[in-house]
Amino acid sequence: MWNKKKVSVVFPAYNEEKYIKTAIEDFFSTGVVDEIIAVDNKSKDNTAREIKKTKAVYVLEKTQGYGAALQRGLKETTGNIIIMAEPDGTFLGKDVFKLLDYCDDFDVVLGTRTSKSLIWENAKMNWFLRIGNVVVAKLLEYLHNGPCLTDVGCTMKLIKKNALKKIIEKFTVNGSSFSPEFMILCLKNKLETVEIPVNYAQRVGESKITSNFWKSFKLGIVMINLIIGYKLGYKGKK
């Protein structure tokens, strides 16, 4: 609980057997997380078994994709305050307090992984990824009248349940570019939004989204097209 409000955490999981149990325990150990929704996105390893060893709520989402898993998790939550994160070691449970400190004043609190002082040694944030995230985030900021933005792909975010209700049926992206769509919809729907730096540690296992230069580059182009598309009015229609 946080100020008498229930706190839920959503973990999207695809082949995360190596760390997901530890991640769940880490976030629960904060003492403020009441519920963790762990969404198994048709993993081929023992992710499901590892989740079921914990007190997290296990959910199977058969539609493949990072965005599909997060959307399912968001819909399953019962908390007043919802936090999204990755169960791969990159995010720390203690950083939920940073997000919660801002939620009295804001509807949405976005994490950023591009603050140099909080990027851990061996974290998957080389110069190309860092600068790329900043550049694309700035494009989103200026085209959609956002607050200061420096990261377009950080999973760790907070949104209040009442704010989520305004956008939950408007998502169109099931894949890896879900994060910028989430940010754009928050801004388009006038949700009070702020970005804050969070720790970014070394990943356990291999990234499915940015494992090499070309995957990262292609994702960046997809995100740019989405950001411009929303500005021009040909994205976000269902």
Calpha distance 232→74 (Å, rounded) = 28
Those residues with Cβ within 8 angstroms of residue 130's Cβ, 6 or more apart along the chain or in another chain? 114, 119
192-to-9, 25, 43, 74, 104 alpha-carbon distances in Å = 20, 31, 35, 19, 11
What would the pLDDT profile of 173-190 be if each residue is shown by its tens digit? 999 999 999 999 999 999
- Residue extents of the structural domains in the chain: 7-232
Architecture of domain 7-232: Alpha-Beta Complex (3.90)
Q: How far is CA 148 from CA 109, 111, 142, 203, in A?
A: 12, 12, 9, 26
Residues 122-139: b if buried by 16+ CB within 10 A, e if exposed: ebbbeeebbebbbebbeb
Kind of pairing between the strands at 157-160 and 35-40: unpaired
Per residue in 160-175, pLDDT (tens digit) is: 999 999 999 999 999 9
With 0.75 as the threshold, say if the pTM is over it: yes
CB atoms < 10 A from the CB of 69, how many?
Answer: 26
Each residue's pLDDT expressed in tens, for the chain with a length of 238 residues? 999 999 999 999 999 999 999 999 999 999 999 999 999 999 999 999 999 999 999 999 999 999 999 999 999 999 999 999 999 999 999 999 999 999 999 999 999 999 999 999 999 999 999 999 999 999 999 999 999 999 999 999 999 999 999 999 999 999 999 999 999 999 999 999 999 999 999 999 776 666 677 788 899 999 999 999 999 998 765 4
pLDDT at residue 234, as a whole number = 83
